[in-house]
Structure 1
Amino acid sequence: MPYTTFSDAQVSSLIKAIDSDGYAVLPDWASPAQLMELQALVQATVEEAGNDYVALSGRQPVAGTPLSDWGNSRNFIDLCRRIVAGATGERSSDTTLTQTLRCLTGNGGRRESLIFHYDSFVLTTILPVCMPDTGERGDLLMLPNRRPLRQSYLRNLVDKVLVDNRWVQRYLKNRLRRDAQAFTRIAMQPGHLYLFWGYRSLHTNLPVAEDALRATAVFHYHNVHGSSSLASRLRKSLGTLKGPDVQDDVPQT
């Protein structure tokens, strides 16, 4: 990782870019050698999954790789903390990142695309590992900064329910077909790090050709309602219904 410490001016510049453009970019976050290592990991992971969609959550499945190092990097976490503090005026007490390596290919990759959603975390960062060169590339798509940070988990839940239904999803897809210019479309480049307000921005990825591969490492910071007792009770209820691995927010970008 070529980036270590950031000046206040650099952090402020990133925040301004996210506020005005919907996202910011840190070029060449991964070195060529790191990117090659991660691409080999992705290829092996996808082959093991039968050349279909697969996601690896947390640092343990990627132990010994740069993804594990970044997920535990004090410099990276400090950068995320300063960005969130600069944007919200509040210093987060979170000392960890939530991370997932998400690999889109095959039929499963298409099913996991074009699902518009809000994240539970203020800051979302994405490192593309593999991106198709042509055709359906799975570009990042968003309506940036559409909602404020909610004071209550219940209001946040209402936002998500209003989006996570077939009628609104169909409306958004139809709107995309009618007026693609209304959306911010980001053709991400492998090795760069992209940052945006995942909590505030309605976002998804465009489809990926079944014979192509799109792999992204997603890092989330500062779960706004992580200490909510209502959120905790709902997670326990869902866990009882669906099993112990249910999470409140699974990266879909």
Structure 2
Amino acid sequence: MPYTTFSEAKIKSLIDAIENDGYAVLPDWASCDQLEALQTLVAKSVATAGNNYVALSGNEAGAGTPLHEWANSRDFIELCRRIVSSAMGQQSTELALHQTLRCLTGDGGRRESLIFHYDSYVLTTIIPVCMPQEGETGDLLMLPNRRPLRRNYVLNLLDKLLVDNRWVQRRLIRRFASQSEAFTRIRMLPGHLYMFWGYRSLHANLPVAHDALRATAVFHYHNVHGNSSLAGRVRRSLSGFKPPQQQTDATQS
């Protein structure tokens, strides 16, 4: 990871880019060796899944790989903390990132695409590992900064329920087909680090061909309602029950 310390001016420029453009980019975040190690992990994971969609979540899934290094990097966590704290106007005390390696291919990859959602975490960062170079390239699609940070978990839940239904999902897909200029579309490059307000931005990924592969390392920071007792009860009640459009945040970015 070539980035270690950031000036206040650099932090401000990243926040300004997210606010004005919907996202910010740190080029060449991953080295060639790191990308190669992750691409090997992706190839093995996809083969084990029968050349179909697979998502590996948590530190254990990435043990011995750059995923584990990044998720436990003090520099990376501190970067996320400074960005979130500056943007929120209050200090974030979270000391960990929530990580997932998401691999889209086959029929499962297509089913897991074009599902618009809001994250539970303020900051979402994505490091592309494998991206199709032609045809359906699985670009990141978003309507950036559409909602504020909700102080009340119930309002956050209502936001999500209003989006997490077939009628709204189809409406958003039709809107993209007829008014693509209304969306921010990001064609991501392997090794770069992309960051945006996952909590505030309605986002999804475009599909890839059945025989193509789109793999991304996703890191989330600062769960807005992580300490909410109601949020905890909702998560427990939904444990083991995940309809197609109610997956966890980390498996959708």
Q: Verify same fold: TM over 0.5.
A: yes
Give CA deviations for 1:17-66 in whole Å, capped at 9, x if unaligned.
00000000000000111111111111111011100000000111110111
- 1:192 alignment counterpart: 192
- How has the CA–CA distance of structure 1 residues 28 and 250 changed in structure 2, closer, same or farther, with 3 Å as cutoff? closer
Separation in structure 1 between the aligned mates of residue 36 and residue 152 of structure 2, nearest angstrom: 43
State the TM-score, normalizing by the size of structure 1: 0.96
Could you say which residue in structure 2 is the equivalent of 1:132? 132
CA displacement 1:133-157 (0-9 Å, x = unmatched): 1000100000000000001000000
In structure 2, what is the equivalent of residue 95 of structure 1? Answer: 95
Q: Which residue is equivalent to 2:81? A: 81
Do structure 1's residue 235 and structure 2's residue 232 form an aligned pair?
Answer: no
Q: Distance in 2 between matches of 1:220 and 1:145?
A: 16
**Farther off after superposition, 58-67 or 191-200:** 58-67
In 2, Cα distance between equivalents of 1:71 and 1:89: 24
Provide the secondary structure at the position in 1 that maps to 2:251.
Answer: coil
The 2-side partners of 1:114 and 1:242 are apart by 21
Provide the residue aligned with 1:120 in structure 2: 120
Partner of 1:222: 222
Q: CA deviation at 1:247?
A: 7.8
Partner amino acid, structure 1, of 2:53:
Y
Shift of 1:251: 3.2
The letter of the residue matching 2:252 is Q
Q: Which runs of 5+ in 1 are unaligned?
A: none
Distance change (3 Å), C-alpha of 1:106 and 1:176: same
Distance 1:230 1:251 in 2: 22
Q: Secondary structure at the match of 1:15?
A: helix
Distance (whole Å) between structure 2 residues aligned to residue 74 and residue 225 of structure 1:
23
The letter of the residue matching 2:12 is S
What are the Cα deviations for residues 160-213 of structure 1, in whole angstroms up to 9, with x where unaligned?
Answer: 000000000010000001100100000000000000000000000001100000
Name the aligned partner's letter for residue 104 of structure 1.
L
Aligned to 1:59: 59
> Contact conserved, 1:235 with 1:248, CA < 8 A, in 2?
no
State the TM-score, normalizing by the size of structure 2.
0.96
SS at the partner of 1:242?
A: coil
Residue identity in the other structure for 2:5: T
Distance 2:109 2:125 in 1: 20
Gaps of 5+ in 2: none
| Cα distance in 2 between the residues matched to 1:208 and 1:86 | 36
SS of the residue 1:124 aligns to: strand
Task: From the superposition, tell whether residues 182 and 247 of structure 1 become closer, same or farther in structure 2 (CA, over 3 Å).
Answer: closer
- Once the two structures are aligned, what percentage of the paired residues are identical? 70
Find the aligned partners of 1:250 and 1:60 in 2 and give their Cα distance. 15
Between the aligned partners of 2:74 and 2:152, the Cα distance in structure 1 is 29
Q: What letter is aligned with 1:67? A: L
- The number of equivalent residue pairs is 250
Bigger drift between 33-42 and 77-86 goes to 33-42
Query: Which residue identity is paired with 1:100?
Result: T
Return the alpha-carbon distance in structure 2 between the equivalents of residues 223 and 247 of structure 1: 16
What letter matches 1:136 in structure 2? E
Partners of 2:126 and 2:213 in 1: CA distance: 16
The RMSD of aligned alpha carbons is 1.3
Q: Does 1:159 align with 2:159?
A: yes
Map of 1:25 onto structure 2? 25
Alpha-carbon separation, structure 2, partners of 1:93 and 1:216 = 26
| CA apart distance, 1:70 | 0.2
Distance 2:11 2:39 in 1: 29
8 Å CA contact 2:99–2:250 kept in 1: the answer is no
What is the CA–CA distance in structure 1 between the aligned matches of 2:250 and 2:195, rounded to whole Å? 17
Aligned AA for 1:101? L
* Distance change >3 Å, CA 213–CA 248, structure 1 → 2: closer
Matched residue, 1:40: 40
Structure 2 match to 1:104: 104
**AA of the residue aligned to 2:137:** R
CA distance in 2, matches of 1:234, 1:183: 31
Q: 4+ residue stretches of structure 1 with deviation over 2 A?
A: 246-251
Q: Which amino acid in 2 is paired with 1:162?
A: L
